[in-house]
């Protein structure tokens, strides 16, 4: 089952989630949702080993 990345990003923005992980095989599905997310510039990713990326929301950034 594919992750609902738009929902996960909304949960990051609202504070329901602190972070979520995207595996390399799922990156293109994430990228599609990411490009449609209104505040995508606040979604920050950190690369981990084996291509895994952990995303969080930057609540401190000024718009």
pLDDT in tens, the chain (63 residues): 356 999 999 999 999 999 999 999 999 999 999 999 999 999 999 999 999 999 999 988 655
Q: Is 14 exposed, middle or buried (0-12, 13-18, 19+ CB in 10 A)?
A: exposed
> pLDDT at position 56, please?
97
Contact 12, 19 (CB under 8 A): yes
Ordered by start, the domain boundaries in the chain are 2-57
- Listed in order, strand segments (DSSP E) in the chain are 20-22, 43-47, 53-57
pTM flag (> 0.75): yes
Longest CA–CA span in the chain (Å) reads 35
> pLDDT at position 1, please?
33
Report the helix count and the strand count for the chain, using DSSP H and E: 2, 3
């Amino acid at each position: 089952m594919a992750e609902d990345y738009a929902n996960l990003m909304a949960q990051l923005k609202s504070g329901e989630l602190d972070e979520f992980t995207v595996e390399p095989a799922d990156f293109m599905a994430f990228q599609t949702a990411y490009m449609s997310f209104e505040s995508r510039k606040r979604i920050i990713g950190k690369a981990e080993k084996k291509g895994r990326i952990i995303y969080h929301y930057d609540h401190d950034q000024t718009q």
